[in-house]
Amino acid sequence: MGKSKLDIEFEQAVERVNAHKDPFPADTLLKLYAYYKKATNDYGKPRSKKPIINAFKTNALFQAKGISEKEAKQSYIDLVNNYFLYRN
């Protein structure tokens, strides 16, 4: 069984983010983090060496706790597309 259109678009959005060399705004980065974790069912604890960053990541995950894996993938895609559309 092949990948769904959503899965393909999600993987492309992840590749786009990973290839981007400039820093993302903190709020965008935290949303990307939370959506990615939800989309990939990765429920591991944040592993930053700085407790404040772990706190921000935990808060971002908490804010995204009510969305499904599919919703998280679509939200990630939408956020990436909008970021690159409006960043200039």
Per-residue pLDDT of the chain (88 residues; tens, 9 = 90+): 678 999 999 999 999 999 999 999 999 999 999 999 999 998 788 888 899 999 999 999 999 999 999 999 999 999 999 999 987 5
Tell me what pLDDT residue 23 has: 93
Question: Can you say how many angstroms the Cα of residue 23 is from the centroid of all Cα atoms in its chain?
Answer: 14
Tell me what pLDDT residue 88 has: 57
Tell me what pLDDT residue 47 has: 84
Tell me what pLDDT residue 83 has: 96
71 to 31, 68, 78: CA distances (angstroms): 13, 5, 10
- In CATH terms, the fold of domain 5-12+25-86 is Acyl-CoA Binding Protein (1.20.80)
